[in-house]
Amino acid sequence: MIETLRWFAVAFGLVLALGGPVAPARAAEPLTWDQALQQARGETVYWNAWAGDERINAYIAWVGERVKALYGITVEQVKLTDTAEAVSRVLAEKAAGKTEDGSVDLVWINGENFATMKENGLLYGPFVRELPNFALVDTRDKPTTLVDFTVPTEGLEAPWGMAKINFIYDSARVHDTPGSIPAFADWAEAHPGRFTYPAPPDFIGSTFLKQVLIELTADADQLQKPVASDSQFARVTAPLWAYLDRLHPSLWRGGRVFPASGPAELQLLDDGELDVAISFYPSEAQSLIDNGRLPKTARVFVLDDGTIGNTHFVAIPFNARAKAAAMVVADFLMSPEAQARKQDPQYWGDDTVLAMDRLTPQQRALFTAIKSGPASLPPDRLGPVLLEPHPTWMTRIEAEWARRYGG
Amino acid sequence: MGATLRRLSEPARPAAGAPALRLPGTGDWTRPVPALTLTLFLLPIGAGLLGTLLPAFGWLPALGGRALGLGPWRALFAEPGLGRAVLVSLVSGVGGSVAALAVVVLFCAGCHRSRLFRRLRVVLAPLLAVPHAAVAIGLAFLIAPSGLLARLVSPWATGWTLPPDVAMVNDPWGLALGLGLAVKELPFLLLMTFGALGQVQAAQRLRTARALGYGPATAWLKTVLPAVWPLVRLPFYAVLAYSLSVVDMAIILGPSTPPSLAVLVVRWFYDPDLSLRFVAAAGALLQLALVAGAIGLAALAERLAARLGRRWLAGGGRGGGGRAADLAGRTAALGALGLGLASLLGIALWSVAWRWRYPEALPSVWSAQTWLRHLDALLPTTAVTFGLGLAATLVALALVVGCLEREQRGGRRPGRGALWLLYLPLLVPQVAFLFGVQVLAVRLGLDGGWLALVWSHLLFVLPYVFLALAEPYRALDPRFGRAARCLGAGPDRMLWRIRLPMLLRPLAFAAAVGFAVSVGQYLPTLFAGGGRVATLTTEAVALSAGGDRRVLAVYAFLQTLLPLLAFLAALALPAWRHRRRRGLRLPS
Amino acid sequence: MSGLAPADPGPDRALVLEGIGLRLGGRSLVEGLDLTVPPGEVVTLMGPSGVGKSSLLDFVCGTLDPAFEASGRVRLAGRELTGLPPERRAVGILFQDDLLFPHLSVAENLAFGIPPSVRGRRRRRARVAEALAEAGLAGFESRDPATLSGGQRARVALFRTLLAEPRALLLDEPFGKLDVALRDRVRRFVFDHARARALPTLLVTHDPADARAAGGPRVELSTPGMQQFG
């Protein structure tokens, strides 16, 4: 009963707490690499990561095994259906005044979620420059390792993979593939019900919308700055909505239903409900064939004028409990060992963030040994990389899409 | 429980005459249990609702909300797709629960004389054990245009070399979700109805009506239904409330643009745009209003039906031989239960498939790879699911036994009000108070801990354990207890040596029910576990967003297996323990 | 337990009821009942059903439903029982049903009654064997009570009660369910053992034959109030 009484007291405390002031986030001095290495041993890193793809979960589990062996760090993947859940959690903790011992130690992040966390002071750092493997990252030819959706990373998130839009189809059934966004609409009209994209705000669905926008709008350069005004947004995005209005009737389910995620769309491809699906990882098709999740005849194509590419990162929340260990894990993710495995279609199949010319010959050999398979396009045939627009565009596009097609 | 609370505040019973009759056993440990149980229940729900109510009117200082106002509500009603989301909730939630109820009534009215009717009782409990998410996952496998049913008849019968482009799951109106809810809730409603039938002397009523010349179905509807309904009303309301606010099934079977209101609210809670928190809170209250409104409407409909029914009853129509009703009831009940079982079969097949493309009726390449590869992840997740279920169930059992024992010792039963309180966690939508609970848990440093997890599961486990145990507990011949006391046993020795062992069978059954409820919990695990605690259910729902269907099937299969094993154990343990005790064997 | 050796029938070992009143929901069932049951004697309580006979026995052994309002005092062997919990009253009771615990074996049922002051497994087991022998059921230890005949069950029930070493015995229509041939034998068996232990015994029954066999005074209960004769 005493326990019970205490709980009553706590309940009233909560009411007061909701009204009371909240301690500001403390900007602690970031750890140096040596300090991090020292403190990391024995810590447990709760890594919040989107978990919609079992191959990726398996890769994360492997990372856990390796950092356990190398540094005595335990990694627990907190499986998310949407990265925003982690952002929300950190925020809830800030709301509750929990400025240390937070529940999220590391979060797989980029784009709007990063922008939100950065803007709200929810991130720890800058810590990336402290990580020794960051020196191996190709920041010159892969500028997206420093600028995330046009937002400078400022050392608050460490890159660990490159993504690029490509399209998977079954070559046994499909013989003509479109080479541009306008051609896609023609193709869809010729093959009604055989293509779709995941419903935004799924990141692949949103990225497809941005791809359409970049290719169709006359003011592509304006996308690199925040949305300036409603009228500017309306003007710049008008071709996108006109295109979607034309495309939707020939989509799967007449454009009234959309798959929930990228992997869900790929499942539909294997089920024979679709002929073409969108992928974000250049070697994903090969990887899925190897895993028995796509027919051996699956192949990949890209668009002639290029497709959107971006980098994904890991960041550490301001109130993380195991900051030191989180830093060590982030460093391991940029190691040649981890990066080579990530590029291997057998395990994941996205491109490395490292610069080959900064590696030792043995390290390079890890990458040249990767068997890419017939469904992977070599880097020189992946086409140009289009840059992500500023996150404000994505947020606005998602909202407008929901308004137009979501009700 | 409520009665006990009231009693605590009443003046002592007047002692008529000299030495007052004292209840034996002062210092009785059961005395505080009802109050403790109520507190454990009401505190998080109350605090949680408050934590939702304040932000819904703009009060959440951490996010800069310091002025009360209607801003969140205006924002809520400006959200695109809100109207549609509410409609989806209503279509699937009301449609699903009313369909389940209709099947129950049809089946009971039409088939109460059949052997099927008696046999179904035996299979119902295990069906009840199948978690919501697993039913949804299996059903999606089954009825999708490229699903198992289409594969069985394609292309030879249908000519579909490619799956037809028809929205059978995730349809914009939530019909698939409604179907899933009906399939899942049917066993629960049937079980509650069967329980109620025993309490109203249905057989006697039927004999009387049949002797007056009424057809079997008409006799049931006219003489049994009006008596049974008051006992089934609350369970039906719980089904209605649950169906309107379900999240995990809606993610799997429901539409996504927009989803049902409950899913939308959870999405807002998790949106990186923090201002949506206010909208989410307002949406959660709207969800609460939706449930309250639906229950209110159901109560109104009941009155109307009662008025019309009275006229029909007095009209004297005898009805026919009931052949049609029998056939319809059989078809509907077996159809729904068959869908449920076929869903489970699909799950089992997918978990051992390596390649299984449309239109193959069976996997083309079989493999145990999926199981073997995920063993490392499956074992700890299963262990957590099991441990959590066990802990919540044991705590619930202890509290429920304490409350029921208090009732026996105090000699008074709680009234109707207490039953409503008991149903409270089942009637209030989870999204409406779990966010507030999460803030509370974070505040106390309990989030992600076992205490918060077990507690949050307890809220939903306890009512079911109580429902399962109360009748048998109260029905146990009190003279056994008296005999034991007169043989010199104190109240606790009597409880442990006589009452509980004699109630082993219902205790084991109640434990299995509680365990199954815990295994199936999605939102409470998500919120109280801080997302850091993975159970088979949270994993399955996360994987259902796309993932590898074979892995999803493995999780869904295990998620089903665990409660089924619990039910098997609940059957086997008393049977083994009492193998040489004929007096305790099940009447066959 | 002291076998069948006659015990001292001193009047100070009587069961005494003084001014007993029972009310349920404002209705008076028993008013001002005074009754003394001397040791070794069987007093029979008779009356129409619903008059409160069984409730009176419940009151004496301390298991009266709290819904009743009760007044008056019960003394046994000079000891005040009112207010004591049932397990400390040393009042044994037999019901119409034998109420053998179905989850326990015959031996466990009997052992349940043996006071904890009898220590040691072997001694407790010996008590059980002794009682079974006395009941003509030697070797029945591991039997499931559900497999016994009605007469056997009645005897086990009696000995379970006697093994608890009661100082008074209450009989709540304990022969009502036995068939006629058996009833007489069981009745005699119970009365003989009660008398041999000099237990004050209070019998509630509908059956005048029970009362005749009891041989003691008869009390007729009627509502409200009562007369005593016989």
Convert the pLDDT of each residue in A227-253 to its tens digit: 999 999 999 999 999 999 999 999 999
Confidence of residue C223 (pLDDT cuts 50, 70, 90): low
Verify whether the Cβ–Cβ distance B165 to A253 is below 8 Å.
yes
Does B401 lie in the same domain as B272?
no
Dump pLDDT digits (tens) for A17-59.
Answer: 443 333 334 445 789 999 999 999 999 999 999 887 778 988 9
Looking at the complex, does the CB of residue A256 fall below 8 Å from at least one CB of chain B? yes
Of A17, A84, A402, the CB nearest to B81: A402
Do A97 and B443 contact (CB within 8 A), yes or no?
Answer: yes
**Do residues B295 and B419 share a domain?**
no
The two three-digit tokens of residue A309, written as one number: 């590419």
pLDDT tens per residue across span A266-315? 999 999 999 999 999 888 899 899 889 999 999 999 999 999 999 999 99
C49 strand-pairing partners = none
The domain ranges of chain C are 14-80+166-221, 101-165
Report chain B residues whose CB lies below 8 A from the CB of C23.
Answer: 16
Residues of C in contact with B23 (CB under 8 A): 66
Give Cβ neighbours of residue B371 (< 8 Å, ≥ 6 apart).
B351, B352, B378, B554
Q: What does the block give as tokens for B26?
A: 């002062």
Q: Token match 């077996």: residue?
A: B334
Nearest to A85 by CA among B221, B469, B269: B269
Whether C19 and B17 lie within 8 Å, measured CB to CB: yes
Q: What is the ipTM of this complex?
A: 0.88
Residue pair B84/B171 in contact by the 8 Å Cβ criterion: no
User: Are B132 and B109 found together in one domain?
Assistant: yes
**Residues forming a β-bridge with B105:** none
Residue A74, classed as helix, strand or coil, is: strand
Q: Is the dihedral of CA B215, B218, B220, B223 positive or negative?
A: negative
Backbone angles phi, psi at C81, to 5 degrees: -95, -30
pLDDT for B184: 93
Q: Are residues B271 and B124 in the same domain?
A: yes
Q: Give the residue, B454 or A5, on which the prediction is more confident.
A: B454
Could you tell me how far CA B105 lies from the centroid of its own chain? 19
What pLDDT shows up at residue B439? 72
B487 touches chain C (CB under 8 A): yes
State the sign of the Cα–Cα–Cα–Cα dihedral B42, B47, B51, B57: positive
Q: Are residues B120 and B207 in the same domain?
A: yes
Task: From B309, B335, B367, give the residue that closes a domain.
Answer: B367
Between CA B427 and CA B91 the distance in angstroms is 18
The angle, 0 to 180 degrees and rounded to 10, between the axes of the packed helices C121-134 and C150-163 is 130
pLDDT at site A281: 86
CATH number of the domain to which B546 belongs: 1.10.3720.10
CB-CB neighbours of B330 under 10 Å: 17
**Is residue A86 scored above 70 in pLDDT?**
yes
Does any domain span residue B50?
A: yes
* HEC sequence for B450-508: HHHHHHHHHHHHHHHHHHHHHHHHHHCCHHHHHHHHHCCCCHHHHHHHHHHHHCHHHHH
Chains with at least 3 CB pairs less than 8 angstroms from chain C: B
Residue of C nearest to B408 (CA): C65
- Please tell me which residue of chain B has the smallest CA distance to C105: B581
Of B18, B24, B488, the CB nearest to C113: B488
- In terms of residue numbers, what domain contains B529? 35-64+368-588
Provide the number of CB pairs (under 8 Å) joining chain B to chain C: 122
Distances (CA, A) of B139 to B11, B167, B334, B361, B476: 57, 14, 15, 16, 41
C169-195 confidence digits (pLDDT tens)? 999 988 888 888 888 888 999 999 999
pLDDT for position B270? 77
Which residues have CB under 8 Å from C149's CB, separation 6+? none
Query: In this structure, is residue B577 part of a structural domain?
Result: yes
B341 and B480 in a single domain? The answer is no
How many angstroms separate the CA of residue A96 from the nearest CA in chain B?
5
Is B573 domain-assigned? Answer: yes
Structure confidence by residue, pLDDT tens digits, C66-85:
888 999 999 998 899 988 99
Quote the pLDDT of residue B3: 36
What's the gap in Å between the CA of C84 and the closest CA on chain B?
Answer: 7
Residue B288 lies in a domain: yes
Cβ neighbours around A1 below 10 Å, total:
9
Structure tokens at B497: 């040596």
State the angle between helix axes of B33-56 and B430-443 in degrees (0 to 180), rounded to the nearest 10. Answer: 100
Residue A260 has what pLDDT? Answer: 85
pLDDT in tens, A333-364: 999 999 999 999 888 888 899 999 999 999 99
Residues in chain A: 407
Q: Identify whether residues B236 and B327 lie together within a single domain.
A: yes
Last residue of a domain, one of B367, B390, B415: B367
- The full set of domain ranges for chain A reads 30-161+310-376, 166-309+385-405
Give residue for tokens 């359409």. Answer: A212
Question: pTM for the full model?
Answer: 0.85
pLDDT of residue C224: 52
Residue B155: cis peptide before it, omega within 30 degrees of 0: yes
Whether the upstream peptide bond of residue B14 has omega within 30° of 0, thus cis, is no
- Give per-residue pLDDT as tens, A364-394: 999 999 988 889 887 778 888 898 999 999 9
CA dist B125 to A45, A147, B514, Å? 41, 57, 12
Q: Do B359 and B381 have their domain in common?
A: no
Nearest by CB to residue B502, choosing from C65, C95, C102, is C102
Q: How many Å apart are CA B440 and CA B381, to the nearest integer?
A: 26
Q: Which of B349, B367, B385 is the last residue of a domain?
A: B367
**Partner-chain contact B486 C63, CB within 8 Å:** yes
CB burial of B251-263 (b: ≥16 within 10 Å; e: otherwise) equals bbbbbbbbbbbbb
Residues contacting residue B58 through CB under 8 Å, at least 6 positions apart: B65, B67, B68, B69, B70, B71, B72, B278
Of A18, A95, A253, the CB nearest to B167: A253
* Paired sense of beta strands C218-221 and C226-229, if any: antiparallel
Instruction: Give me the number of domains chain B comprises.
Output: 2
- Which stretches in chain B have pLDDT values below 70? 1-27, 272, 546, 586-588
Minimum distance, in Å, between the CA of residue C87 and any CA atom of chain B: 4
> Is A166-309+385-405 in the same CATH topology as A30-161+310-376?
yes
Residue B27 has a pLDDT of 67
**Residue B246 and residue B161 share a domain:** yes
Which phi and psi angles does A355 have, rounded to 5°? -95, 120
Residue A185's pLDDT band (cuts 50, 70, 90) = very high
* Chain B residue with Cα closest to A122: B272
Of A28-42, A51-65, C95-109, C214-228, minimum mean pLDDT range: C214-228
Task: Please name the helix (run of DSSP H) or strand (run of DSSP E) that holds residue C31, with its range, or none.
Answer: strand C27-37
Same-domain pairing of B323 and B401: no
Q: Which 8-state DSSP code applies to residue A354? A: B
CB B263 within 8 A of CB B247: yes
Across the interface, do C97 and B488 touch by the CB < 8 Å criterion?
no
Class of domain A166-309+385-405: alpha beta
Burial level of B25, CB count in 10 A (0-12/13-18/19+)?
middle
> Which homologous superfamily is C14-80+166-221 in?
P-loop containing nucleotide triphosphate hydrolases (3.40.50.300)
Q: Same domain for B355 and B486?
A: no
Closest CA to B243 of B173, B183, B168: B183
Question: What's the CA gap between B36 and B30, in Å, rounded?
Answer: 10
Query: What sign for the dihedral angle of Cα C107, C112, C114, C116?
Result: positive
- Residue C8: phi and psi, rounded to 5, are -65, 120
The class of domain A30-161+310-376 in CATH terms is alpha beta
Chains B and C touch (3+ CB pairs under 8 A): yes
Q: Tokens for B373?
A: 């590869």
